[in-house]
Amino acid sequence: MSRTREAILRAAAAALRTHERAGMADIAAAAGVGRATLYRHFANREELLLELGRFAAEESVRVLDAANIDAVPVAEGLARMTRALLTVGREFWVVSTHRARLWPEEEEVGERLRALAGRGQAEGVLRTDLPYDQLAALHGSLVLGALSVAPLAQLGVEDATDAIVRLFLEGAATPR
């Protein structure tokens, strides 16, 4: 992806967070490019939004790769995963769109949530009375809530990460 295209996508996310109905002229101005440049990269607003959703999913996978979750204990993996998803989510949450099918990268994020939950169960860190895919969905729901539900959305990334991980681990811990 070209630097200009990436800059446009990041600027579009910022513009849309400020004003959900930001138009192409607003996005071009936010990106510091002319409208002609914007339209060379994206034929219309719908195409830009679609690509922005995919870019957000790609960013999620990229930050999860960088978090190296498989190399640390489950509790730390949960913290790293939560922090990574919240960080990307805070930048790109506005672009969440309702599509019939998920991007492959979105599927990959879900698979990583499920893999960590399965590893947590196998290592005796997470409860086993719920299937691992339900635990993963619960973890993902906590992240989504911290992105979209007031007053949780006002928490900083570190505070939200701490709250989610503590709640998840204490509520999902193997009964003693």
What's the pLDDT tens digit per position in 84-129?
999 999 998 765 555 668 889 989 999 999 999 999 999 999 999 9
Residue 62: give the domain boundaries.
Answer: 49-172
29 and 60 co-located in one domain: no
Helix ranges restricted to H, the chain: 3-18, 24-31, 35-41, 45-67, 74-92, 104-122, 132-148, 157-172
138 and 99 co-located in one domain: yes
30 and 68 co-located in one domain: no
55 and 122 co-located in one domain: yes
2 and 53 co-located in one domain: no
101 and 58 co-located in one domain: yes
32 and 60 co-located in one domain: no
Residue type, 49: L
Count of domains forming the chain: 2
Asked, as a colleague might, if the bond just before 104 is cis with ω within 30 of 0, I would say: no
Task: Report pLDDT digits (tens) over 45-84.
Answer: 989 998 998 899 999 999 999 999 999 999 999 999 999 9
Q: Is the pTM of this model over 0.75?
A: yes
